[in-house]
């Protein structure tokens, strides 16, 4: 029954005596060595006082916690070296709570280590596996039960049961359908798709909320823009801005390497999607000398002078570019949507 | 059952006082026993023996930080509003006054600035979560490197693994709830990853977010997952984990009096109760003090989430850092398949490698037992050096985890060490393949060196530092022989032999060929225990030969 448990060592058992034949034999449990507190009553008393002291400190700290809660204002800021300026209430509550809890723990552990018995005791292990009698008995009982159910004999019942059990979880999956709408063409279009030749949409500066003129845009600068009419208070603002956000750069037309990209812009002003094509972080870092834009999330780097081609990092395709021009008043406008979906790529995304 | 109770009881048993209890406590215990049978339960467990070793407290830290997370989490749910409804903030944190934000973010600000002690509880919750995952990882490594996962504990290893994975994901969901700029960026990353799933990615995305990103459903849904679904599963797994620990009894290190058939240590009552119970308060106290001192996740500093804004330094919590590393170092491969469909390998491949890195460690117990063919129970721990291949594999796994963590924080490494971010990324790409291999080789060599040193110590004793001059003029250093305790402890480990291919013909002389599986198994076994993968431990003969001679040194 116990052959399942290996011997601790080739020839030794827990109580084996040291023999000259086996220099590595187990000498058995060592004798208990008394601690100072076991033999010196004064040391024991001292340990007792130490444990109690810690419990008393805990009590005081809890009182301190309650006092801090009642007396310190939530917005009071204090300077504590080396932490700097911190919330007085948070610091006081945290430290008193910490001390109150820690001292209970330290007291209990100190008590256990100095005053409670430290005799090591052995306990027997038993194999996890049942012995053969039990095993055979259970298998026999199971067989009886299985035979009485007729599960193995009535194949039709068995197979249809398996079939129905396999299908029934589908109801749960189907019920999840109304969690959200179907994708349809939603990811294909942005808010700019309402713009047409006859009713264009103005580009609005994200910070000033003003329509933009070409002369407002300095060469080498990076400006963020949104479609006119998209207000922050709109119900679906978050959803819209996640797709519509633009990054406006002005590059000397001669420096623009990609002719198609230059044609989509206006006098060197180019409007790219601000949403990274990797997993959708907004791109915000621009290096005006090299015209490189970097996404701070995963460092995909795009060359805005070369059709926003990916030159480093994990993004798989260039940033989509919005075709822009100006209207009669000289404001920058868009007359249509991006040529391709913005943001991360997905299975249905045309390439 | 446990023979722990047989310490110094006198021979005569005290008469039962059941009909006439000695005091109120006994009477109460009798009452409960009549309903739920506590005496039978306590008989087996009250003086249950627990062995003592510092590393056994790592699992306790996991348990206690989990309890702390639940306690503080319940408090936070009382004040947190899991809603993405828009509101304009007018609160005591002036820099954000008049700013549009979700109620989730606004209520997190209120917890931090209006609710007295709310900030502290938020900080304790977050710190305890970090400690929880870290302790699980370290606890798991303890179990791994000592071979404590071997039969009969494989199932518990899997439970522990599931707890780690669930803990990581629950941390991610919790991190996402305040709807601040960083957490929104994390959710956006998740959305991009889901979109990369071929065929059904957009459908999963629409169903999960209730429409297009970000929509208004994601925070309430994450809230339910974070506070109910995952913690519920984790609680069940945790209870099962602890029941199994109790049932298997603890493992122990080899040493005098310790065998595979016993467990040596202190009884649950009173010593272990005081130590373990006290340790809960130590952990809680330290986490509370850390939370008072060190600010974590100051959501007010980054502002509410807007999909067109981002802060630099966008970092997940450290335990998710390796997934971030995978996504950052993967080249952006996108391919066209089947008429206009896009396969986003740049995101899909890291997504597939993520579970592989984790599962590699989860399946190890089964690989190891298959290779050794060992069907016995194991309760004595291996010293890591005595299982060089296992130790080397574990170290390689950790090195991969760390190298990916560097990849995940490549922007921090770039700014703090003044390095090019591109160079770091290229280095991590190479390191992903090279570093684990190097770590494996170095660790295995190191283990073998330590085994040699142990052998030396057993045969020659410990260097004493005393130089003796022999009659003929030679100087030797006196070596102190080891105590019986040390001799035993250093030689108690087993050294399995590699499997061998079965004979080419069976007992009847009929040729039989070993299958591919058998051959693989033999090869693996050779790699585990073959020549050059362990140092033969000292034999009795060797010991006698050396110690019986003159002037042993």
B475 by DSSP, 3-state: which?
strand
Which of B165, B505, B524 lies closest to B357, judged by CA?
Answer: B165
Instruction: Give the chain B residue nearest A72 (alpha carbons).
Output: B116
Q: Is B347's CB within 8 Å of A344's CB? A: yes
If you average pLDDT over residues B216-243, what whole number do you get? 97
Q: How confident is the model at residue B376 (pLDDT cuts 50, 70, 90)?
A: very high
Work out the average pLDDT over B274-302: 96
Q: How far is CA B163 from CA A167, B58, B63, B363, B412, in A?
A: 30, 15, 11, 15, 29
The arithmetic mean of pLDDT across residues B386-411, rounded, is: 95
Residue of A nearest to B380 (CA): A8
- Is there a contact between A26 and B256 if contact means CB atoms under 8 Å apart? yes
% of chain B beyond a pLDDT of 90: 78
Which residues of chain A are within 8 Å of residue B256 when distances are taken between CB atoms? 26-30
What's the rounded Cα separation, in Å, for the pair B69 and B170?
A: 11
Q: Which band of pLDDT confidence, cut at 50, 70 and 90, is reported for residue A7?
A: low
Please report which residue ranges of A224-344 form alpha helices under DSSP H: 237-244, 259-264
Nearest CA in chain A to B102: A238
Q: Which of B459, B488, B542, B51 has its CA nearest to residue A12?
A: B488
Alpha helices (H) along B330-363: 345-362
At B288 the three-state DSSP class reads: helix
| Burial call A1-35: b when 16+ CB within 10 Å, e when fewer | eeeebbebbeebebebebeeebbbbbbbbeeeeee
- With an 8 Å Cβ cutoff, is A25 touching chain B? yes
Q: Whole-model pTM above 0.90?
A: yes
Alpha-carbon gap, residue A157 to A268, rounded angstroms: 76
Average pLDDT over residues B394-420: 94
Q: Which of A7, A122, A241 sits opposite B262 (nearest CB)?
A: A122
The confidence score (pLDDT) of residue B553 equals 46
pLDDT in tens, A80-108: 999 999 999 999 999 999 999 999 999 99
pLDDT(B9) > 60: no
Give pLDDT, residue B45: 87
Q: Say whether pLDDT at B12 is over 70.
A: no
B214-B219-B221-B226 Cα dihedral, nearest 10 degrees: 130
Q: What is the pLDDT of residues A41-90, one digit of tens each?
A: 999 999 999 999 999 999 999 999 999 999 999 989 999 999 999 999 99
Whether A220 has its CB under 8 Å from any CB of chain B: the answer is: no
Query: In this structure, what token pair is assigned to residue A218?
Result: 């300095």
d(CA A200, nearest CA chain B) in Å: 23
Nearest to B274 among A18, A28, A112 (CB): A112
The complex scores an ipTM of: 0.90
A185 close to B (CB below 8 A): no
Asked if B267 lies within 8 A of A121 by C-beta distance, the reply is yes
Statement: residue B537 has pLDDT above 80? yes
Segment 101-130 of chain A within 8 Å of chain B by CB: 101-109, 111-113, 116-125, 127-128
- What is the predicted pLDDT for the residue at B506? 75
**CB < 8 Å to B119, chain A:** 87, 89-90
pLDDT at A222: 92
A-chain residues near B117 (CB < 8 A):
69, 89-90, 93
Question: From A20, which residue of chain B is nearest by alpha-carbon distance?
Answer: B544
- A88: contact with B, CB 8 A cutoff: no
Give percent of chain B above pLDDT 70: 96
Whole-angstrom distance, CA of residue B201 vs CA of residue B81: 30
Which region among B13-17, B280-284, B286-290 has the lowest average model confidence (pLDDT)?
B13-17
DSSP notation for B122-140? HHHHHHHHHHHHHHHHHHH
Question: What is the number of CB-based contacts under 8 A between chain A and chain B?
Answer: 395
Q: How confident is the model at residue A16 (pLDDT cuts 50, 70, 90)?
A: very low
145-164 in chain A: CB under 8 A from chain B: none
* A121 three-state secondary structure: strand
Distance from the Cα of A153 to chain B's closest Cα (Å) equals 34
Cis amide prior to B325 (ω within 30 degrees):
no
Whether the per-residue pLDDT at A5 is higher than 90: the answer is no
A303 φ/ψ sector (left φ>0, alpha ψ -120 to 50, else beta):
beta
Give the mean pLDDT of B393-402.
Answer: 97
Q: Say if A207 is an interface residue toward chain B (CB within 8 Å).
A: no
Q: Is B177 helix (H, G, I), strand (E, B) or coil?
A: coil
What is the distance of C-alpha B28 from the center of its chain? 41
Q: Is A282 on the interface with B (CB under 8 A)?
A: yes
Instruction: Name the pLDDT band for A3 (thresholds 50, 70, 90).
Output: low
Lowest mean pLDDT: which of A254-263, A293-302, B7-16? B7-16
Q: How confident is the model over B339-364, as a mean pLDDT? A: 93
Q: What is the pLDDT of residue A12?
A: 40
Tokens of B6: 């047989």
Segment (H or E) for B423: helix B421-460
Give how far B118 is from chain A: nearest CA, Å: 8
Contact check, Cβ <8 Å, A89/B271: no
Contact B307, B214 (CB under 8 A): yes
Which of A97, A109, A314 comes nearest B332 by C-beta?
Answer: A314
B517 has a pLDDT exceeding 80:
yes
**pLDDT confidence of B438, banded at 50, 70, 90?**
very high
Which of B3, B155, B198, B259 has the highest number of chain A CBs within 10 A, making it the mutation to test binding with A?
A: B259
Res A14: pLDDT:
40
Give the model's confidence band at B457: pLDDT under 50 very low, under 70 low, under 90 confident, else very high: very high
Share of chain A above pLDDT 90, in %: 84
Q: What is the mean pLDDT of residues B420-426?
A: 94
A313 reaches B (C-beta below 8 A): yes
Token pair for residue B132? Answer: 């929880």
CB < 8 Å to B86, chain A: 233, 235
Taking CB atoms and an 8 Å cutoff, what residues of chain B touch A93? Answer: 116-117, 120, 292
User: Under 8 Å CB-to-CB from B56, ≥6 apart: which residues?
Assistant: B50, B250
pLDDT given at position A8: 52
Query: Cβ–Cβ of B3/A349 closer than 8 Å?
Result: no
pLDDT at B511: 78
Asked whether the predicted pLDDT for residue B513 surpasses 90, the reply is no
Distance CA A5, CA B375 (A): 9
Taking the CA of residue A62 and the nearest CA in chain B, the distance in Å comes to 12
The string of pLDDT tens digits covering residues B72-128 is 999 999 999 999 999 999 999 999 999 999 999 999 999 999 999 999 999 999 999
Averaged confidence pLDDT in chain A: 92
Task: Give me the torsion for CA of B100, B104, B109, B112, rounded to 10°.
Answer: 180
* Helices B345-362, B364-372: inter-axial angle, 10-degree rounding: 50
**Closest residue to A90, CB basis, from B4, B213, B292:** B292
pLDDT for res A282? 94
Considering CB atoms only, which of B285, B327, B411 is closest to A296?
B411
Name the residue in chain B with its Cα closest to that of A298. Answer: B328
What pLDDT score was predicted for residue B8?
Answer: 46
Q: Does A76 touch chain B (CB under 8 A)?
A: no
Nearest chain B CA: its distance from A116 CA (Å): 6
Q: Lowest mean pLDDT: which of A3-12, A107-116, A197-206?
A: A3-12
Who among B265, B305, B484 is closest to A27 (CB)?
B484
């Amino acid at each position: 029954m116990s052959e399942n448990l290996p011997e601790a060592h080739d020839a030794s058992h827990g109580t084996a005596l040291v023999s000259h034949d086996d220099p590595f034999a187990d000498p058995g449990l060592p004798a208990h060595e008394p601690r100072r507190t076991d033999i010196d009553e004064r040391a024991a008393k001292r340990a007792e006082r130490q444990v109690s002291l810690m419990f008393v400190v805990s009590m005081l700290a809890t009182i301190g916690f309650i006092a801090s809660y009642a007396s310190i204002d939530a917005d009071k800021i204090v300077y504590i070296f080396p932490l700097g300026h911190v919330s007085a209430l948070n610091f006081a509550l945290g430290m008193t709570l910490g001390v109150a809890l820690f001292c209970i723990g330290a007291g209990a552990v100190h008590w256990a280590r100095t005053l409670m018995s430290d005799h090591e005791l052995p306990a027997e292990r038993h194999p996890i596996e049942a012995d053969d009698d039990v095993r055979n008995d259970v298998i026999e009982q199971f067989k009886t039960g299985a035979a009485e159910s007729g599960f193995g004999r009535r194949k039709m019942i068995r197979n249809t049961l398996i079939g129905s059990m396999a299908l029934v979880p589908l109801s749960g999956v189907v019920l999840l359908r109304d969690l959200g709408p179907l994708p349809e063409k939603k990811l294909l279009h942005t808010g700019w798709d309402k713009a047409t030749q006859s009713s264009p949409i103005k580009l609005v500066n994200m910070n000033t909320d003003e329509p933009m003129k070409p002369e407002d845009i300095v060469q080498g600068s990076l400006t963020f823009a949104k479609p006119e009419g998209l207000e922050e208070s709109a119900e679906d603002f978050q959803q819209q801005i996640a797709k519509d956000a633009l990054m406006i750069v002005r590059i000397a037309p001669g420096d623009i390497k990609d002719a198609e990209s230059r044609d989509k812009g206006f006098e060197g002003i180019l409007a790219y999607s601000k949403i990274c094509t990797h997993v959708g972080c907004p791109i915000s870092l621009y290096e005006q000398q090299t015209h490189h834009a970097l996404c701070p999330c995963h460092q995909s780097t795009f060359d805005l002078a070369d059709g926003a081609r990916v030159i480093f990092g994990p993004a798989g395709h260039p940033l989509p570019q919005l075709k822009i021009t100006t209207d009669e008043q000289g404001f920058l406008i868009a007359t249509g949507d991006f040529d391709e979906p913005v943001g991360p790529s997905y299975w249905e995304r045309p390439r | 059952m446990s023979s722990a109770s047989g310490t110094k009881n006198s021979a005569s048993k005290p008469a039962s006082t059941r009909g006439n209890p000695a005091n109120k406590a006994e009477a109460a215990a009798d009452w409960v026993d009549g309903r739920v049978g506590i005496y039978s339960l306590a008989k087996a467990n009250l003086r249950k023996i627990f062995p003592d070793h510092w590393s056994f407290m790592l699992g306790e830290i996991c348990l206690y930080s989990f309890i702390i997370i639940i306690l503080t989490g319940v408090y936070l749910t009382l004040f947190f509003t899991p809603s993405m409804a828009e509101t304009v903030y007018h609160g005591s944190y002036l820099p954000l006054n008049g700013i549009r934000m979700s109620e989730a973010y606004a209520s997190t600000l209120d917890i931090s600035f209006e609710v007295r002690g709310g900030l502290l509880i938020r900080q304790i919750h977050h710190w305890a979560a970090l400690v929880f995952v870290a302790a699980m990882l370290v606890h798991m490594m303890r179990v791994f490197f000592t071979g404590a996962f071997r039969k009969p504990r494989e199932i518990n290893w899997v439970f522990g693994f599931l707890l780690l994975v669930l803990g990581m994901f629950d941390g991610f969901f919790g991190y996402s709830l305040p709807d601040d700029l960083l957490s929104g960026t994390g959710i956006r990353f998740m959305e991009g990853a889901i979109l990369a799933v071929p065929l059904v990615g957009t459908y999963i995305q629409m169903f999960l977010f209730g429409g297009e990103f970000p929509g208004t459903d994601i925070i309430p849904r994450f809230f339910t997952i974070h506070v109910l679904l995952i913690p519920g599963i984790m609680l069940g797994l945790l209870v099962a984990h602890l029941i199994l620990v109790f049932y298997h009894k603890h493992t122990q290190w080899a040493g005098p009096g310790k065998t595979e058939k016993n467990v040596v240590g202190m009884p649950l009552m009173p010593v272990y109760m005081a130590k373990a119970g006290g340790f809960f308060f130590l952990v809680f106290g330290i986490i509370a003090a850390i939370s008072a001192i060190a600010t974590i996740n100051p959501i007010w500093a980054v502002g509410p989430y807007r999909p067109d804004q981002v802060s630099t330094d966008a970092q997940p919590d450290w335990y998710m850092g390796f997934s971030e590393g995978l996504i950052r170092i993967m080249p952006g491969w996108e391919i066209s398949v089947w008429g206009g469909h896009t396969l986003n390998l740049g995101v899909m491949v890291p997504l597939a490698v993520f579970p592989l890195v984790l599962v590699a460690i989860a399946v190890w117990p089964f690989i190891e037992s298959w290779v050794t063919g060992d069907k016995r129970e194991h309760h004595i721990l291996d010293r890591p050096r005595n299982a060089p291949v296992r130790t080397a594999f574990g170290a390689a796994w950790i090195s991969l985890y760390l190298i990916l963590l560097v990849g995940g924080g490549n922007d921090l490494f770039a700014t703090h060490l003044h390095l090019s971010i591109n160079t770091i990324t290229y280095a991590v790409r190479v390191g992903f393949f090279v570093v684990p291999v190097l770590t494996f080789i170095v660790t295995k060599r190191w283990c073998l060196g330590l085994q040699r040193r142990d052998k030396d110590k057993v045969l020659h004793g410990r260097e004493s530092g005393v130089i003796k001059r022999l009659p003929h003029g030679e100087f030797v250093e006196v070596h102190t022989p080891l105590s019986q305790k040390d001799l035993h402890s250093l030689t108690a480990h087993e050294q399995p032999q590699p499997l061998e291919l079965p004979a080419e013909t069976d007992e009847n002389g009929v040729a039989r060929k070993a299958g591919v599986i058998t051959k693989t198994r033999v090869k693996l076994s050779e790699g585990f225990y073959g020549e050059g993968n362990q140092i033969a431990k000292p034999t009795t003969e060797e010991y006698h030969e050396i110690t019986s001679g003159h002037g042993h040194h």
